[in-house]
Every structure is written in structure tokens, then in C-alpha cells.
Amino acid sequence: MATLVDAWRTLYTITLPNLAKLKSSAQTHWPVQADHCFARIILDSVIGRGEEYTETSSSVTSTENRIATPWTERLKSPAIKNMTEAELSRCVTLGEAIAGGKANLVELDERSLAARGKAFKTSKGHGKRKGDAKIDDTAALSQPSSSEPKPKLRRRDQPDIRAAFGAPPKPSASSVPSASIDSDLRDLIETSEITAFRKRVLLALCQVPKGQVSTYLALSEYLNSAPRAVGNALRNNPFAPRVPCHRIVAANKTIGGFNGSWGVKGEYFNNKVTLLKEEGVRVNEKDGRIGNTVWTGFE
């Protein structure tokens, strides 16, 4: 099972996104590039069709081969923790078929979108779907609206931000139990006017214990989402510091972002360092390196 889990994660987070960026000849067109979109397409194709799925039917075009429902209506999120070994094996098989050109990604994407009631918009035959980068289809939840403030980040001031969001997670401090959330804080979050996705992110964030740090990647894997979607959700935290967004750092164990700024050159770097050190987290004030083990004990 562990081997299948590793194979699945590698396929949708590394192999397929890289093939898409390189415009591999395995597919005549790559309609998506983001890892969560590949996961959405494959999970919908396998889980969304239930017992009707076969390894060969994924490449056949017919009305009978449509996806009946999004995978989230058949399986509790996160999928990687709730799939059976057989379902996980089918996901790996389909991912490998896409990578090898044996399954048509465009057709699979169209079926996935149709199951979610979304139109597939193209230009000149095979264009990129409008707004695709803004949709976290894997989580199947709302994302922050375009009217929300944009991050005050400059690319030249954050050369490691991509690696920091997607670097491999460090071992978990699994012996430390998750923190409990006060009922009044839970009610405050759940009844607020923020999006459903941000509510899930903030509620999950409350599990990170005082004196521990987790990462955008670890939190996104728990929510079956994407690190950048989690980063966007945390950028405007109306309940800080009770909802401790300062306990989320970059996957490469640097300070990460805080209040819309990033890294040691960020405007609020010292604020985040102070909050973490007051809770007993080891932080190098010069380079923002975190000395603690990454906590990933989300439940």
C-alpha cells in the first residue's frame, strides 16, 4: 500500500505536471498543468464512476463512459487516506496511462468537468480552460474570490517561493497530539462570511499545537488541495492569532509567508518570528530557518 501511495503522489504532483509543462508528445494537448487538476481528473474518472470503471474504458469515448458524479460525493476527503487499495491501484494505472499516451487527457477532463457542471471553454480547437488556475477542483470547494487583496510579493525578493511551497515534507512529530479547538472559535469560523474552502483551511490550522510548526504542503495534503491554494487562504486570516497561521512555514523549513509578505525580506518577518519564539519554536532570526521538526498530525 505504501508503494502505491508513493506512486500516486509522484504521478499527480511531479510526473504529470512536468509532462504538461514540457508539452510532452504523449498527449496532443495538455488542458491542465496543476497537480490538483490532475488529481481531480483521475479521481473523478476512477472514484466518480465507482464499479463502472475499468482500466480500458478510460480511453473510450461514449455517452456510457461519462462520469456520474464528482469523486467527493462518493468518498470522504482526503482521498489518499480513504481510498481502498484497489481504487488507489486504479488511480495509479490511469495516471500511468495518461503519462504514456494510452488515455486521452482532454476527454477525461471534459467528462470530469461535465460531472461538476462546468463548461470546457477552448479557443482554436484546444485552448486552455479559462480560470483553470484559480479553481481548486481537487478540494471541490470554493476558493478566495478575485476581489480579495492580492499578495504584496515581488518575484525578485522571493526566489525560493516555488520550491518552498512544494518541497518534500519533513518527518512528522507524530508523538505530539493535535490541538483541540474551542467551540466558540469553531462557531465563529463556521458562521463567518469567508469561503467554504477558507473555513476548512482555518479549522484544520487550529489543530497545529502550540510550540509546533507545519507547512503549506502538509496542510494541503490533508485537505487534498494544493499548497498555493492554502497559502492564498491564509494570506487574509481574520481570526489571527487565535487561528495560528504563524505556525505554518515553508516546506523547506524557512519562515514562509505572513500577512501577505514572504521570507526574511517580508514586511512582517519579525512579527512572525516573535510569535513563534514566544511559543517555543526555534527560529534563526537572520535567515528565517526553523529548527523544529515539521508537525503533520492532522486528523
Residues with a known catalytic role: 245
Give the Cα separation of 225 and 89 in Å (integer): 20
DSSP assigned state of 8: H
Q: What is the DSSP string of 63-79?
A: GGG---S-GGGTSPSSH
Contact 218, 298 (CB under 8 A): yes
Q: Residue 114 — φ and ψ, nearest 5°? A: -60, -40
Q: Residue 172 — φ and ψ, nearest 5°? A: -85, 145
Give the Cα separation of 42 and 48 in Å (integer): 9
Contact 215, 248 (CB under 8 A): yes
Give the Cα separation of 165 and 185 in Å (integer): 28
Closest of 187, 172, 284, 161 to residue 243, by C-alpha: 187
Beta-carbon neighbour count of residue 159 at 10 Å? 10
Contact 259, 267 (CB under 8 A): yes
- 56-58-64-68 Cα dihedral, nearest 10 degrees: 130
DSSP assigned state of 290: B
Q: Give CA separation, 4 vs 1, 92, 127, 197, in Å.
A: 5, 7, 33, 28
